[in-house]
Amino acid sequence: MDKARDILKKAKEYRRETAELLSEMVKIPSFSGKEEAVCKKIVEMCESRGFDEVRIDGLGSVVARIGSGLKILAFDAHIDTVEVGDPDQWDLDPFSGLIKDGLVHGRGTSDQEGGAASMITAGKILKDLGIPEEFTIYFTFTVMEEDCDGMCWKYLIEEEGLRPDYFVSTEPTSCRLYRGHRGRMEMLCTFKGVSSHGSAPERGESAAYKAARAALAMERLNEELEPDDDGFLGKGTIVVSRIEVSGPSQCAVPDVGMLYLDRRLTWGETSESAINQVKEYMGDDVESVTMPRYSKTGYRGTEYGQDLYFPTWKIPEDHPLVQAGVKANTSLYGKPPVVDKWTFSTNAVAVCGAHNISTIGFGPGDEDQAHSPNEVTRVDDLEICSAFYAMLPYVLKETLEK
């Protein structure tokens, strides 16, 4: 296909520029809720490359547009990052943005400003070559994902009315094509005891022992969770991520206890079924099992929130969007991509999980680089992904016409 040849040529021509785009982003710390500086830089990057419209939404995400067709295709990268952690574990400055030996170094290179850099280059390629007139293409650079994945897209869909027909997450996939991942939720479990002096524990009722028994029950529940029917997403998991107990003094039986749970949900599991499982396994020891709510004020001063429930999603391998992704990769590189799934969670929990919008994933970098010291991504991946994103609208148009 001539278009594939032209796109590959452009992606290679812009290869160094794409790496430099990523380097510039990495040099600007952009922790969740503090993304203003990098968002302003991304606005400049998109405007200078001729995007048709570039704006910042009410929550703080950058929304860039090319085209004005009836079908909406959206590419998404979250541009907030986690904190650095222990700086002694980093060989380089986490914000160096160093480009060396085919790698870009620094916090956010894989998770996931690499996807953002490739998206900007893809937009430039599409402006150079033109896009199918049937499409409007949005490139979204979203905020606060690390704190609450999907909330940025909940805002875009429910508050700003941006509802794409097709969605591509550019979270790291090692340039594989992903079509789903497990959902997740968080739970808060409380325990009540009766305090007594530590010299006579038999007079009291320990919330610590109740919490301990409940924690061991969660270990058993994790072992007994079942995989989804087709085995694609695998089994759900549950882990006690925090445990706390307290009492009137250090010399007293604790009368209050708490467990915090991270629950990963496979296909068919819901927040209701997961809470009921926890109650069943903990039995009379647990006082309450609830799902917390997240709320935060972004850098634009907008407060927004949601329950800490992130629905599972997947789409079939024969879905037109998946098949378009396979054909796009094959047209460019002469072979189909590996089709798989993420282990972690992405903004697709809102887009596909909650709003049932057809979604795939294809991104530069590796999942195991996320939240790790000495984070890197490959310049090769940036080039591959910028070509893939530019190619997809053409192939999706052909796929939908058949």
Q: Which residues are catalytic?
A: 80, 145
The CA R_g of the chain, rounded to the nearest whole Å, is: 23
- Tally helices (H) and strands (E) across the chain: 10, 20
d(CA 143, CA 78): 6
* The token pair that represents 174 in the structure block: 């090692």
Pseudo-torsion of CA 303, 152, 111, 296, nearest 10°?
A: 10
Q: Could you check whether the bond before residue 306 is cis, i.e. omega within 30 degrees of 0?
A: no
* The token pair that represents 107 in the structure block: 């916090």
81, 113 contact by CB (below 8 A): yes
Length of the chain: 402
Interior CA angle at 361 toward 359 and 365, to 5°? 165
d(CA 27, CA 42): 13
Q: Beta strands 288-290 and 53-56: pairing type?
A: unpaired
**Location of structure tokens 């009368």:** 255
d(CA 51, CA 65): 6
d(CA 131, CA 88): 47
93, 189 contact by CB (below 8 A): no
126, 66 contact by CB (below 8 A): yes
Give the burial class of 318: count Cβ atoms within 10 A of its Cβ; 0-12 exposed, 13-18 middle, 19 or more buried: exposed
39, 141 contact by CB (below 8 A): yes
Q: Beta strands 339-340 and 177-178: pairing type?
A: parallel
